[in-house]
Structures are given as C-alpha cells and as structure tokens.
A = this chain, B = another copy of it.
Amino acid sequence: MNIYDIADKAGVSIATVSRVLNGSPNVSPKTKDKILRIIEEEGYTPNVFARGLGLNTMKMIGILCTDVSDIFYAKAVSVVENALRQYGYDSLLCSTGYKLGDKKKYIDLLLNKRVDAIVLIGSVFQEESDNSYIEHAASKVPTIIINGVVDVPNTYSITCDEYQAMYNNVISLVKKGCHDILYLYDVESSSGIQKLNGYKAGLKDCGLAPSARLILQVEKNPTTINEAVINLLDKNIHFSAVLASEDLFAIKACHALMSRGYRIPEDISVIGFNNSLLCECAWPKLTSVDSMVETLCNTGISVLRDVFDGKTVTHKMTLSAHLVERDTFKQ
C-alpha cells in the first residue's frame, strides 16, 4: 500500500492525498474524510503513514516536563533538544506544572500540532493515579519517558537505577565506619521513593536499622534546609555521614555543619545526588552520584530513531549510575 494505491482507491490525485497528509485546508471535507478513512482502514495513523512515505511530516517532537527551571530538567531538556536537532527534528517544549489536568491539556495540544513523537521528562509522569493521558498519547505517537516507567503499549522508558546507586552509597559509607547516616529528601516521587528504599535496604543489609530521626524530609529552599540540619544538631542527634536525594540538600547540610565547626569530610562525609553544576560550586566540592542525565536523554532519542526505523526496541532500559568523587567523601 503506497500513496498511489490510496489515491487510486479514493479516486483522487496523489497531490490531493499529499495535501490531506500535510493538513492543507484546500481539500473538501468530503474528500478529506474519504482519504483519512482509507488510511485508517490500512491501520496507519496519518503521521506514521506520511513518515513511511518520506512525505513532509512536521519533523517535530513534543517535550513535556513539569518545571524547566529545575536544574535537572533544564539539563535534560537541553540534551534532548540537541539530540533531536542533530537528527533533523524540531522540539516543542511544554512545561506543564504539576497539575494532572494541565498535563492532559498539553498532551492534547501536542497531538493537535501533529508531533511525530512525545518525550516525557521526569519520574513524575509515572506516579499519577490516572495515566490514561499517557495511554492516549502513546496510542497516537511513540512516547519516550526519561527517568520514569509507564507500563503502556508504544511507550519506551529509560531510567537510571537510583535505588542501586543509593544502596551503594550506604555500603560505601558503612565500610568507612559511618553507621549513623542522615538522609535528606524532599518529595515522595517515584524517583524519591526509589532512592529512599535504596538507603533503607543498604542499612538493612549491613545489619543496621534505619532511624526515623535520621530520615529528614525538607523543602527545596536553601534557608529551610540549613535550618532543618541546624535543628538536628541542636537536638544533639548524632550522625557521621549525610546522604541527600539532591545536590542542593547535601550542600546546605555542609554549610550547616561547617557553621558549627564540623570539618568535611574529616568529621562528617557528605554525598549528593545528580552531579549537577552545583557540585563544582560547593566548597568543599561535592561528591555526588552521576544520574546519567545526558546518557538517559541521548539513549531515549536513539530508541526513538529505532522506533521510527521500524526496528524491534526494548520497552524498558535501566542504566546504572556511578559516583563522582570530589572532596566531601572519598572511598
């Protein structure tokens, strides 16, 4: 079945079929309906069909993230856009905010713009009670999820093994004699839960019990993190190491500790997460888990290319993280 067959079957010219596939308005509604019906009967969506024919698709990918001012998301968006541009595709970015209704709206918007695929960035997309909007998106176009897993056909998830990374952090710290490890995190996103579970499992496998007093939920605000740690010190709650779900939390913990005369890492070891630009700005420079955002994103776009090329592609890929040693902890 090619464009000639469709034109034949519809009794119209090839140019007319092309106009319909490209969304041109200069086709009567009746003719347009007929052509779209024939294409649908063949089991193709117009987009996929047009691409297969090498016709003018929009060459446009929709990207969704919740907040582009987040340092991790900003980096991810930038890498995805660059990879797509090199592949000849444009990007439309929607920063959705955290409301489910807005996410649905933006998915519809991107589908109406006839994007060729959708890339979702962040584990936040996997934890909705209702992910029918992702199912809807994936029924129309391939949907890539960076750092999150959604079990829906035509979706492709690329994640980093954050559970294992945090587990490994605990093992390394305990080996160095740190048994009381303060854990700092903010939200219970699926990514947040993975890391917290890795921390607990690491302690358990070392024969240690997690202490509720050493698991501290903080707000993503430099001042309040600082105060929360100072507050622990004032209560004489002892700890010999700090693990954080984000670099910022680790850095502000360092500040709180240094302001009370603790030396890092001599007195207390600290490990951050994400290996962001902040690590190089901190003093001492922060040891942090590289959560492989560049590799995740580039792999995601490489998976998308394979999907477009009709190759068989695995629906779930997990990459392992690694520790970047700087000055706040050395193995």
Contact = CB atoms under 8 A, between A and B. Distances in A.
A207 interface: no
A81 B68 contact: yes
Given A278-B277, A280-B222, A109 B90 contact: yes
Residue of A248, A252, A277 with most partner-chain B CB within 10 A: A277
A278 B276 CA distance: 11
A25 B79 CA distance: 36
Interface stretch (A93-101, A146-154, A190-198): A93-101
A251 interface: yes
Name the interface size band of chain A. 35 or more
A255 interface: yes
Contact of A255 (B29, B102, B283): B283
Contacts of A105: 90
A133 to B, nearest CB: 16
Contacts of A60: 109
Contacts of A255: 283, 285
Given A109-B90, A283-B258, A95 B67 contact: no
Interface in A278-294: 278, 280-283, 285
13 contacts: A25-B25, A68-B68, A68-B93, A69-B79, A90-B105, A92-B92, A93-B93, A222-B280, A222-B281, A248-B281, A255-B283, A277-B278, A278-B281
